[in-house]
Structure formats: C-alpha cells, structure tokens
Amino acid sequence: MTVLVQFAADRDLWSSYEAPLAQALADAGVAARVTPDAVDPATVDYLVTANAAVVDDFRPYTKVKAVLNLWAGVEKLVGNPTLTQPIARMVDPAMTEAMTEYVVAQVMRHHLGLDRHIQNAAGAWRPERGQKLARERDVTILGLGELGQAAAAALGALNFRVTGWSRQPRFLPGALCLAGIDRLDEALSTAEILVILLPLTAQTENLLDAARLARLPRRAVLINAARGPILDDAALIAALDAGDLGHATLDVFRQEPLPADHPFWAHPGVTVTPHIAAETRPGTAARVIAENIRRGEAGEPLLHLVERGRAY
C-alpha cells in the first residue's frame, strides 16, 4: 500500500525537502507518494505542516492519521479548532545542536562582556579586572525540554551554575532544577543570565511581565529564543530604560518580521536576531517525519506527540 503524504507547508520549502523526504521514506521502508500539490483531502494519509496557513481547515482530511509539523513550536496548530488529528512536533537533532550553539554564543558574549570591547571605535584601552569565571556565573533556563536540556548540558560543561525551570520536576546532572509556577520567582532571582526556551501556551503567554522581570538580579541579561509573546515588550523596554535589566537578546517577536518602527530595533539595550536561532534541517528532519510515518503504518506509537491538554 502506498501512503499519500501532502506537504502542506510553504511552497518554497518543498525544494529543500523533496529529495531528503524521498530518501528518508525509502530508507524507512515506507512506500509513499509525497506531494506539495492540493489533492483530494479525503485521500491524504499524513499531512506535513509548517505552522503556515496552507491548510487551515483540517475537517476534510478525514483519513489523516497524523499531522507532522516541521517546526518545534505548535502553538498555531493546537489553537486550530478544526484540527483533531494527532499532532507530532519536530524534534530535530540538528535544530537542537543549532539552538545550543546560539544559546552558548549569547551567554558567552554577555558573560565575557564582549560588546564593551567590540564596540570600541574610540580605541580606548580599558582593561577590566575581576572578570567572573563561568563557575561564578548563574544562568537560569526557563524550559527544560529538548532544547533547554541540551543548553543546560552545554552550559554546565562550561562550568556555568545552571538553574532550570519546568512544569514537571526534572533532574539534570549538575543543575538545580525547579518546577512549577510557585518556584518561578526563585528561578528568576539568581538569573544573572536568563534563557527562555519555553513553548508558547496560555500559561506562558506574557509570563515575563513587569513583576517577573523585577525579580531578576539588577543588570541581568535576558535571551529569548522561544516565542515573542512570552515576554511583555513594553515591560521589557521599561526595565531596560530604568537600568534594571542589562540587555536583551531577542530572536523571536510578537510580530515577525519585526516591524521597522518597533522600538526594539533602535534600543541600545536590545539585540535583534531575525528568528535564526535554530532552523529545522531538512536532512535530519526528513528522517523524523519518515520514522513517524513508518510508526503510524506499523501501528506503533508516534514520536513527539503533542499533548492537547498542555498544548505543547
């Protein structure tokens, strides 16, 4: 039996996924036809999506066994009331590697105060004494899932004092793990550098508001590589303007692309990166998609299923 897979993602992604998907499905021993074209929805077995609105009414896809997302974040899919089929989010080892690299780079930049030396057009010789070592620096990671755990391990390997925060208790070697909303203030209170790697849900939207930002140590640095709406933009700017917050490196925004007139662009305390922290890589992601289709056809449990009750 040949399964029909509709690649219901942006058309410009198809050219990079067509060959890797064909190869991965063949390697997984799955006979499949993958098409980026609109086909009779009632004939489709699996939908590959990228959170885009290529399909926004899932009701005609009566036969679909699973919706397989190319991105890790699934907030737009879980918010779609017509989508009742199982959803698998993307856990791509290459994306995890990329996020770890981004987080380590940003943490090291602020830990070492590199900006002060890089932005020195006046040529001033100003050595700094008493720089902290990583083992004297507290970093808190909000979210200890695929990405948060990898970042925690890498930062721990560099000797940073890592605190992690999640919904359910987690145990990571060498890190202080806190769980639940009641422990959030504690997790924030030591965060000289705060890394946000949470999914966007009703519980995490605006989680970092003025009151929570005020819990951070003075001149703390914040890195948001998760989703824009987790942060209150106005509260962030107010905290930077007041000198309470030292810097914010933001990869994600409420509106993307970030509008040209958004105050983040010009703010000296904000670094904007254009949602580049961790891209899904077609070569590795295609293998995850193919494995899930193989599992679906073999009646085995799918990988990385979204739990509807918690929305991630």
**Residues tagged active-site:** 227, 275
Question: Strand pairing partners for 142?
Answer: 165, 196
* 114 CB-side CA count, 13 A: 7
Q: Rule CB under 6 A: is residue 251 a binding residue for ligand NAP?
A: yes
> How far is residue 167's CA from residue 39's CA, in Å, rounded to a whole number?
40
- Residue 222 sits in the site that holds ligand NAP (CB under 6 A): no
Cα angle: 211, vertex 131, 144; to 5 degrees: 45
Q: State which of positions 88-107 bind ligand NAP (CB under 6 A).
A: 95, 99
By CB under 6 A, what part of segment 36-75 binds ligand NAP?
A: 72-73
Alpha-carbon distance of 129 to 120, in angstroms, equals 17
Q: Are 235 and 207 in contact (CB under 8 A)?
A: no
- Least CB distance from residue 226 to ligand NAP, whole Å? 4
Of residues 1-30, which lie at the interface with ligand NAP (CB under 6 A)? Answer: none
Token pair 């999914």 is at which residue?
199
| Nearer Cβ to ligand NAP (153/238) | 153
Beta bridge partners of 212: none
Binding residue for ligand NAP, selected from 20, 36, 41, 145, defined by CB under 6 A: 145
297 is an interface residue for ligand NAP by CB under 6 A: no
Q: How many helices (H) and strands (E) does the chain have?
A: 10, 12
Q: What share of the chain is helix, strand, coil (3-state, %, to 5)?
A: 35, 20, 45
> Which residues between 153 and 182 bind ligand NAP (CB under 6 A)?
166-168, 170
Binding residue for ligand NAP (CB under 6 A) from 6, 106, 163, 201?
201
Q: Is 267 one of the binding residues for ligand NAP (CB under 6 A)? A: no
Q: Smallest distance from the beta carbon of 241 to ligand NAP, in angstroms?
A: 25
Q: Which parts of this chain interact with ligand NAP (CB under 6 A)?
A: 72-73, 95, 99, 143-148, 166-168, 170, 197-201, 203-204, 225-227, 251-252, 275, 277-278, 312
